[in-house]
Chain A
Amino acid sequence: KNQVEQSPQSLIILEGKNCTLQCNYTVSPFSNLRWYKQDTGRGPVSLTIMTFSENTKSNGRYTATLDADTKQSSLHITASQLSDSASYICVVSASNAGNMLTFGGGTRLMVKP
Chain B
Amino acid sequence: EAQVTQNPRYLITVTGKKLTVTCSQNMNHEYMSWYRQDPGLGLRQIYYSMNVEVTDKGDVPEGYKVSRKEKRNFPLILESPSPNQTSLYFCASSLRPDRPSYEQYFGPGTRLTVT
Shortest distance from the beta carbon of B45 to any chain A beta carbon, whole Å: 7
A105 & B42 in contact (Cβ 8 Å cutoff): yes
Query: In the complex, A106→B37 CA distance in Å?
Result: 11
* Residues of B contacting A95 in the complex (Cβ-Cβ under 8 angstroms): 98
Which of A18-26, A46-54, A69-77, A78-86 sits within the interface?
A46-54
Given contacts A103-B42, A104-B42, A105-B42, contact A41 B109 (CB under 8 A): yes
B109 & A89 in contact (Cβ 8 Å cutoff): no
Q: Which of B4, B58, B104 has the most CB of A within 10 A?
A: B104
B34 in the interface (beta carbon within 8 A) = no
Residues of A whose CB lies within 8 Å of any CB of B are 31-32, 34, 41-46, 49-51, 89, 93-96, 98-101, 103-106
Given contacts A41-B88, A46-B104, A89-B43, contact A32 B98 (CB under 8 A): yes
B79 in the interface (beta carbon within 8 A) = no
Q: Which of B22-72 contact A (CB under 8 A)?
A: 33, 35, 40-45, 48, 56, 58-59
Given contacts A44-B106, A45-B106, A89-B43, contact A101 B111 (CB under 8 A): no
A99 & B45 in contact (Cβ 8 Å cutoff): yes
Q: Which of B57-115 contact A (CB under 8 A)?
A: 58-59, 88, 90, 92, 97-101, 103-104, 106-109, 111
Total B residues in contact with A, Cβ cutoff 8 Å: 28
Closest 4 CB pairs of A and B: A43-B106, A105-B42, A32-B100, A31-B98
* Residues of B contacting A106 in the complex (Cβ-Cβ under 8 angstroms): 42-43
* Residues of A contacting B98 in the complex (Cβ-Cβ under 8 angstroms): 31-32, 93-96, 100
A49 & B97 in contact (Cβ 8 Å cutoff): no
Shortest distance from the beta carbon of B93 to any chain A beta carbon, whole Å: 11
Query: In the complex, A51→B59 CA distance in Å?
Result: 24
Q: Please, could you name 7 A-B residue pairs with CB atoms under 8 Å apart, sorted by A? A: A32-B100, A41-B109, A43-B107, A44-B90, A89-B43, A99-B45, A100-B98
Shortest distance from the beta carbon of A73 to any chain B beta carbon, whole Å: 14
Shortest distance from the beta carbon of B4 to any chain A beta carbon, whole Å: 8
Shortest distance from the beta carbon of B52 to any chain A beta carbon, whole Å: 17
